[in-house]
Amino acid sequence: MSITSIKRIAVVGAGLMGHGIAQEFALAGYSVSLSDLDEERLVQARDNIENNLKMLGLTAESDLVAEKLTTAADMPVAVRDADLVIEAISENLSAKRSLFAKLDSICKPETILASNTSTFMPSQLAEATNRPSQVLVAHYFNPPYLVPLVEVVASQTTSSATIDTVRDILISIGKKPVVLEKESLGFIANRLQAALLRECFALVENGVASPNAIDTVVKSSIGRRLAVAGPFEIFDAAGADVWNAISEQLMPDIESSSQVPPMMSKLVSDGNLGLKTGRGVHEWTDDTAAELRSRIAHFLQEMRRWDQDE
């Protein structure tokens, strides 16, 4: 299958990620079916998409999206004629494997099955199907209509044609896909984020700095550079000799534990899960949580415009 063969797309799961993924394909002119077992979530998904388009200044395109997007609580009906199915359900391996087995039995033989998982490897999902050459991961980032990256992760059994088709269709709708050279738990972005978080928690647990101080350091220095230059570009700009000298002193002291940081585990056991509970590392009110979400969305909108102007 090639990009010209992709006419109909189905997204399974209408939650935080699913509705945004469906929105982008519909906006690009594809016929999209969005399914979810929860009919109220499907109604909310349409409202969210309408609000997203207003925020993006794309109100004029609302009619196109409404025409191209259908919603259905009946998953088999939604996916039956799809050429590409993107799974965006909860991050539960057993549930995903069960869904992929069902998709395999319902979809056309040539249909590509992709997962938006942020953690699991495509081989773990391909094993549940009889079409391992047509299974891969297409990992979007929240919110998918503002963050351009999609990590494309194939297993050893995924065909090059499947990889090329998914990469090309993502490029065609304005995404920036990165194809990993081999599958790896957490892929690229989440491994980098996890490594940074491990050191952040270690700095707090060892009494080096407060969470507020660490957030300020990242926002006011490396975070600004990383928005426009990657780690290896920054490395080359400073010089390998400089970083080698720093690393000789620093690497032995950097946190290298293979365990979840104790502070993180305690937050979970205490039920302090972040914005959703009003307390995590920081305390949150409705107003401060809304301000954080707004600040992130505003910055991502500005970056999106910057990308479009390049």
Q: Are 280 and 125 in contact (CB under 8 A)?
A: no
For 104, other C-beta atoms within 10 Å of its C-beta total 19
Q: Are 72 and 35 in contact (CB under 8 A)?
A: yes
Q: Are 41 and 200 in contact (CB under 8 A)?
A: no
Q: Which residues are catalytic?
A: 118, 139, 151, 190
Q: How far is residue 102's CA from residue 20's CA, in Å, rounded to a whole number?
A: 23
